[in-house]
Amino acid sequence: MASTNDLKNGMVLDLDGQLWQVIWFQHHKPGKGNTVVRSKLKNVLSGKIVDKTFNSDTKVDTATVDRREMQYLYLDVDGYVFMDTGNYEQLTIPAETVGDAKDYLLEQQMATVASHEGNPLYIELPASVELEITYTEPGLQGDRSTGGTKPAELETGAKVQVPLFLTTGEKIKVDTRTGDYLGRVG
């Protein structure tokens, strides 16, 4: 249990059996009445963001979320298999939990796995990853870096928009949060 006066960004609350991560909060003292705590909360499982106002000093349940750096090994019929590099324990995470992170996940890559009471909640990837273009249409003579974009398929199967001058086989940096092309590598 914690008080709403103790809220911190990143803290995970257990409200009515659902886990909510505090994204933002502010103590507010209206002209009349008691102090309240305004907050923006993100549902850990669905990603839905809501605004919630608490009375000051209200008791809220906090949830313990275990965040461990793990290495992605392979995909099998049960899901994505990760290994804790500290104790070599393997954990299979269902595809629904991995979600869109699968588009940027390569074997042997490190990721943060967040779990609550032994149940995996979500996967956090680095802000950007380097991936190889496995297919894109060839550029045409006269294409320049300040032109349009074209679709490209990456080694994970994800599709992103890239500048016209890029070719199959090149490595690019991709933002894992938005799927945007960030630049050419090497």
Which of 48-52, 117-121, 125-129, 169-173 shows the lowest per-residue confidence on average (mean pLDDT)?
117-121
Domains 65-124 and 128-184 share a fold: yes
List beta partners, residue 130.
173
Query: Looking at residue 182, what is its pLDDT?
Result: 95
**Can you say whether the dihedral through the CA atoms of 33, 35, 40, 46 is positive or negative?**
negative
User: For 48-84, how does the pLDDT look when each residue is reduced to its tens digit (9 = 90+)?
Assistant: 899 999 998 889 999 988 999 999 999 999 999 999 9
pTM recorded for the entire structure: 0.75
Q: Would you state the CATH architecture of domain 128-184?
A: Beta Barrel (2.40)
Pick the CATH number of 2-62 from 3.40.350.10, 3.40.50.1370, 1.25.40.10, 2.30.30.30: 2.30.30.30
